Amino acid sequence: MSSTSTSLPDAKRVGMVSLGCPKALVDSERILTRLRSDGYAMSPDYDGADVVLVNTCGFLDSAKEESLAAIGEAITENGRVIVTGCMGEEADAIRAAHPQVLAITGAHQYEQVVEAVHEHAPPSQGPFVDLVPQPSDTDIKLTPRHYSYLKISEGCNHSCAFCIIPQLRGKLASRRIDAVLREAEKLVAAGTNELLVISQDTSAYGVDTRHEERNWKGAPVRAHMTDLARELGNLRTQSGTAPWVRLHYVYPYPHVDHVIPLMADGLLTPYLDIPFQHAAPAVLKSMKRPANEAKVLARLKNWREICPDIAIRSSFVVGFPGETEADFQYLIEWLEEAQLDRVGAFRFEPVEGAAANNLPNPVAEEVKEERYQRLMKATARISAAKLQSKVGRTLPVIIDAVGDADEDGDIGATARSQADAPEIDGQVLLRNVPSTLAAGDIVSATIEDADDHDLFGVIIPQ
């Protein structure tokens, strides 16, 4: 049943602007799902909306600026705006910039957001409102149907010096394993072929509940990353195959070693997103990073021996206070050795309220910029060489979008390999695809060419 067919003819319409990380996107989906079950309809544009929700990100100062700009645009275009999300914790700053906002709620305050919508755009009363069903296939998804984010916990028990997430979102609070698996099963039954497991610290899943056991399909499973990964890999998509399952935000605790064999066995996508942030011991120490231990390079080597195709993605911060040229050089040499597949980099930016702001020896902006450019150049070269080694191979790819035929009748498609998570990694650009191809299909492609970040290929006829 589509969203329009479940809404009343005169249903109030809610618009949504969702900013920030995939975790915020999942929150937006939950809020919209709940509102629709209350009888609201969704508006794809400002004009048709009775009220606009802006789900903000308040992590970096640049994200706050983006959030304030988005609130301003929604006020100009519509005028009736409710703010939620991480920046909602800074209600004073929002009210100072935009006194017209109707209500402000913080991250994960689903009840409060829904109440605010009820207050400012009361739901249409009709005999069917209480009967509006909420089955799995009517849940609102902001990601395409063929991939879905699966949030397994909230909050974080660490205290990295540059981060205020524990202040914003509290201590680690893991969801029950059976609830997570039930949600994943519903998503897969509704057409998801790729699950993206997210949290603030995926390897810590269940630490707060002492890895509480629950019954799943007649057997006990623990709230633990390894059990979770194995059970997700045992799900079956509509076409009877295992879904792709990616683990994001994994810290390299020793037990991460146990999920690598699941990748070799095909139960888990050979992909790990590990936010290392730096490599130099002195910088990691002053960053107060978790699982900061020396043997990471040896473990990467061991993982690649068990699962040669494993792709490692990571992100790094350059110009952290106190980072010396020698520390930065250590990082570059570490990266040459680590041969990571995908790397994102950020210039250090102070975040209001973060402990790092009080550290001595800030790095000058021009030095930050110069180090950032050097890091990007080095990692682009590593990425290009790694992608070049895939030319000639045949790889499974998932289709994201199929284009229109050109003047010669050729149709192109955008896809991703198992080494590419949506939105953050590269793509596989396919030529001459069959017109029957659809988003979400998983097919085999022969790789014909590569550049620094993307692959180019053609589908193998079945």
Q: Which residues of this chain interact with ligand SF4, rule CB under 6 A?
A: 156, 158-160, 163, 165-166, 200-201, 290
Which residue's CB is nearer to ligand SF4, number 164 or number 430? 164
Q: Where are the alpha helices (DSSP H) in 107-236?
A: 110-120, 165-169, 177-189, 225-233
Longest dimension (CA), the chain: 70
Q: What share of the chain is helix, strand, coil (3-state, %, to 5)?
A: 35, 20, 45
Q: How far is the CB of 16 from ligand SF4 (least distance, A)?
A: 25
Q: How far is the CB of 203 from ligand SF4 (least distance, A)?
A: 10
> Rounded CA gap, 4 and 332, in Å?
53
What tokens appear for 396 in the block?
């499974």
Q: Is-contact 165 353, C-beta < 8 A?
A: no
> Rounded CA gap, 238 and 461, in Å?
21
**Cα angle, residue 190 at apex, residues 138 and 12 outer, rounded to 5°:** 15
Q: How far is the CB of 288 from ligand SF4 (least distance, A)?
A: 8
Which residue's CB is nearer to ligand SF4, number 200 or number 427? 200
Which residue's CB is nearer to ligand SF4, number 317 or number 415? 317
> Rounded CA gap, 303 and 169, in Å?
32
Which residue's CB is nearer to ligand SF4, number 358 or number 462? 358
Closest CA to 394 of 374, 426, 418: 418
**Cα angle, residue 18 at apex, residues 13 and 22 outer, rounded to 5°:** 135
Q: How far is the CB of 251 from ligand SF4 (least distance, A)?
A: 7
Which residue's CB is nearer to ligand SF4, number 20 or number 440? 20
What tokens appear for 192 in the block?
């998801």
Q: How far is the CB of 249 from ligand SF4 (least distance, A)?
A: 7
Q: Is-contact 88 105, C-beta < 8 A?
A: yes
Q: How far is the CB of 60 from ligand SF4 (least distance, A)?
A: 12
Which residue's CB is nearer to ligand SF4, number 283 or number 382? 283
Q: Is-contact 315 425, C-beta < 8 A?
A: no
Q: How far is the CB of 163 from ligand SF4 (least distance, A)?
A: 3
Which residue's CB is nearer to ligand SF4, number 90 or number 201? 201
What tokens appear for 276 in the block?
């290392």
